[in-house]
Amino acid sequence: MKKFLMVGLGNPGPEYAQTRHNIGFDIVDAWAQASTSVFSPARYADRAELKLKGRQVILIKPTTFMNLSGKAVRYWMEEEKIPLENVVIIVDELALEIGKVRLKTKGSDGGHNGLKDIQAVLGRQDYARLRFGIGQHFPKGHQVDFVLGKWQATEMEFITPGVERAIKLLETFVLAGPQMAMNQYNQ
């Protein structure tokens, strides 16, 4: 059975719940909930598993904090024997409008500390990442407050359809590959 690893990036703990930086956690949570899968504590991450047309999808939410995500990614790739081409890292993105999604199969960390650590631990940049737009609506010098801030009520109308689109993109990645996922869902 072909296996895939979907890594939602975020920070553990209730103080980070529903923050822009934790959209990766929110996306894998929504996908697990839609498939009646449940997250359980495991080594370096909370883990859930689902089946999708004969494929096994492992969902993880690293418990190592965002800036040390690489340790969890490497551990679960090795533990589940999942090749890099079957891994997607799900991350927040300032450079995209709120709720927009974009899949890339390689690239730089773009200043994102979670991706920076994953690239340092894996020693490569050629892994897929699903970037979820959080916008950049903050005054100069307040980026950290914005990223770690909770979603505003006015933003939720973009978040819910964005999360649904992200899940469809990830399902397409698993069933038809990255190129098809990018062609159908990149905005």
Give the distance between the most distant pair of CA atoms in the chain: 49
Among the options 21, 112, 137, 142, which is catalytic? 21
Return d(Cα 37, Cα 106) in angstroms, integer: 29
Catalytic-residue membership of 142: no
170's enclosing H/E stretch is helix 156-176
Which residues sit opposite 3 in a β-bridge?
56
Q: Tokens at residue 58, please?
A: 């492992």
Whether 103 and 182 have beta carbons less than 8 Å apart is answered as: yes
Active site residues: 21
